[in-house]
Each structure stands twice: as C-alpha cells, then as structure tokens.
Amino acid sequence: MRNLPPFLMIVKEGLDKTLTVAKFLCALHVTNTYLCTSVMAQGPSMLPTFNLTGDLLLAERISARFGRVGPGDIVIIRSPENPRKIVAKRVKGVEGDSVTYVVEPKSSDRCETVVVPKGHVWIEGDNIYDSNDSRKFGAVPYGLIQGKVFWRIWPREGFGSVR
Amino acid sequence: MGTQNFLWTFAKNYFTVGLVALTISDRYASIVPVRGVSMSPTFNPHHSTLMGSNDDYVLVEKFCLEKYKFSPGDVVVFCSPTDHREKHVKRITALPGDWISSPYSHDALKIPEGHCWVEGDNFASSLDSRSYGPIPLGLVRGRVTHVVWPPQRVGKVERRIPQDGLPF
C-alpha cells in the first residue's frame, strides 16, 4: 500500500507533462492556421522571383482572411486541380478586374482579355513560359487562397521581404 | 494582489481552453447551425423564414480534409465560390472524372480534375452547382455526419445519390 502514493505521483506528473505538450501543439496549430505559416516553394513557375530548387517562405494568413489580397501580391493557394497541393503564384486581378494575358507565350503573342468573376482571383506565375496557372484553369475562387507571402527565409542570400 | 493573481490565472485558463477548443474544431469536428431550406427535408424540413431559432445543428467532421477523399452522396460544408466569407452546406453528386447531364442545355459535362458537383436536396430552391458550375474540392471545409439538434431528429446523415432529375 505504501507504493501507491509514489505511483500516483508519477502518473500525475506524466499527465501534467502530456497536458503541457498538448497545449503547446494547440498553440502551434492556431499560430500556423490563423497567423503565419512556412511553405517550401519549388518549380520553375515563379522564376526569377523564386528559385527552381526551392525557397522557404513565410506566408501570413491575416490578409487573406480579411479579403485584403490585391493585384501584385504573391499568394499561396490550394491548387484547383489537386486539393492536396499548395502552390505559390502572383495575383494579377481580383473580382471585377479586366485581365489581359498572353495565351501561349512560347508560340505566339496572341492576347486575350477576360473579366474576373465575383468571388474569384486571376493568378499567374512570374515565369509565364512555364507556369500552370489561371491561363490554363481559369480564375480561381478566393476561398482557395491560404495566405500572402511576405518573407523569404532560405536561401540565405535572399533573406528578406518579398515583393 | 490576490484578486490580480486570481484574474490572471482565470484569463490564462480561459485562453488555453480557447486554443484547445479552436484546434479541436479545426482538426477534428465542430457543430454548426444550418440555415435555409436548400437541404430540405434532410435539414430544416419545417423551416419558416421568419423563425430563426428553428435551425438544425449538425456535426461536421474534419478528418476528410486529410486526403480530400469524398464519395458521391456526402453532405459537405464549403466556402462559397462567389463570396469566400459565406459557407454553404450541400450534397456532392459527382466527383472528378464523372459525366453529368447539364440541366439547361441537354449536353453532358465532364467534372474537371480536382472539382466536384454539389446540389441541394431541395431542387426547387437551392443555389448550387447548377448555377455556379463545379467547385474545386479545395473549398470544402468539412463533411456533415450527424444531426445533433433538435432532439427528435438526431441521427446519422445518410449518403444518398439522387436519381437523375428526380427530387427527393
């Protein structure tokens, strides 16, 4: 019977530590979802702004939630072709804007103009020669935007704000 | 001094509970009210536009957001493609790659990759994919599994695939 209290003490301490870890993970989740998150962007579609092999970026979630994303912003967005993939692109127009874009820059200079429907945005990669964006799949609903990129962490030469 | 200490502890506990509740509601499940009659008779079967307190409350699970794998007949909550601040509740009737007969032009439409076709159970008064086309699966915020209020209609929300053109 004398072994019971020390055992209970160990159990209580284990529970306290677990609770602390759980609270920390919840705080991490809330920060990641509502304040600021990190994302690794790779691929050729945003050259020369981002590298081919991958840049580690910080994206803030507050602007997107309050509808303050505008043309010229780089956003991370859930791909309309695969909901499990997050891509980084630049917003070229918001709802109501008239966007003029080059349809196939590799073959011709033909331009088309389109009006962005309500609740949607038009996204394009900085490297229009190799970018799968709104020119292929059309304007995307604003609800797919996950955040606005504002800082680059890696590589170290590019550390600093992203415009 | 004692009151200050007590208030500080109280505020800390309140904040912690808030964080935990927010995490659980985002990652696991939450309870939301359903407004409107677009999903009658599944939700709000006797709803009158004057009485706001008769809304059904449903349990929305978030585990489906891991793989974005849905089945036809699932009722889902998604951000409206016309206004990202609004959330709608509708039933998925077609998945990527399915062919659907377009209601107003009599030709077949293929659901593009990564998109789905949503329709309300109450065909007569429902603003859904028949107006705004297929929606990207990335807009889905959860899947409705059970009705939790009012008590007389507590139960599982079944997967039902509507027959072509026929309302429930």
User: Residues with Cβ < 8 Å from B57, sequence gap 6 or more?
Assistant: B31, B32, B33, B34, B147, B148, B149
Of the partner residues B23, B83, B84, the one whose CB lies closest to the CB of residue A30: B23
Is A45 noted as a catalytic residue in this protein? Answer: yes
Q: What is the pLDDT of residue B162?
A: 66
Kindly report, residue by residue over A4-46, the tens digit of the pLDDT. Answer: 688 899 999 999 999 999 999 999 999 999 999 999 988 888 8
What value does the mean pLDDT take over residues A33-62?
89
Kindly report, residue by residue over A62-73, the tens digit of the pLDDT. Answer: 999 998 998 999
Residue A61 lies in a domain: yes
Q: What is the pLDDT of residue B166?
A: 44
Q: Does B69 touch chain A (CB under 8 A)?
A: no
Long-range contacts of A69-74 (CB under 8 A, 24+ apart): A69/A94, A69/A121, A69/A142, A69/A145, A69/A148, A70/A94, A71/A97, A73/A148, A73/A149, A74/A46, A74/A49, A74/A148, A74/A149, A74/A162
Residue A98 lies in a domain: yes
* Total number of domains constituting chain B: 1
In a mutagenesis test of the B interface, which of A85, A142, A146 is the best target, namely the one with the most B β-carbons within 10 Å? A142
Q: What is the CATH number of the domain that holds B130?
A: 2.10.109.10
Long-range contacts of A37-42 (CB under 8 A, 24+ apart): A37/A61, A37/A146, A37/A147, A38/A153, A39/A76, A39/A86, A39/A88, A39/A147, A39/A149, A41/A76, A41/A87, A41/A88, A41/A149
Structural domain that includes position A87: 37-161
Residue B165 lies in a domain: no
Between helix B2-27 and helix A4-34 the angle, nearest 10°, is 70
pLDDT of A51 > 90? The answer is no
Helices (H), chain A: 4-34, 62-65, 134-137
Helices (H), chain B: 2-27, 129-132
Nearest chain B residue (CA) to A22: B20
Taking the C-alpha atoms of residue B102 and residue B115, their distance in angstroms, rounded to an integer, is 15
Is B90 noted as a catalytic residue in this protein? Answer: yes
Chain A neighbors of B78, CB-CB under 8 A: 143
* Total number of domains constituting chain A: 1
Q: What is the CATH number of the domain that holds A60?
A: 2.10.109.10
Residue A86 lies in a domain: yes
Residue B162 lies in a domain: no
B89 contacts B43 by C-beta, under 8 angstroms: yes
Residue A28 lies in a domain: no
Walk along chain B (168 residues) in steps of 10 and give the mean pLDDT of each run. 85 91 92 89 74 79 92 93 92 91 77 92 88 92 92 87 54
- Three-state SS at A156: helix
Taking the C-alpha atoms of residue B97 and residue A136, their distance in angstroms, rounded to an integer, is 18
Q: How many residues does chain A have?
A: 163
Record: contact A83-B27, CB cut-off 8 A: no
Residues A147, A150, A153, A154: is their CA dihedral positive or negative?
Answer: positive
Q: What is the pLDDT of residue A55?
A: 87
Q: What is the pLDDT of residue B167?
A: 40
Q: Which of A89, A91, A70, A86 has the alpha carbon at shortest distance from A32?
A: A86
Structural domain that includes position B138: 2-156
Residue B97 lies in a domain: yes
Kindly report, residue by residue over A82-124, the tens digit of the pLDDT. Answer: 999 999 999 999 999 999 988 888 888 888 899 999 999 999 9
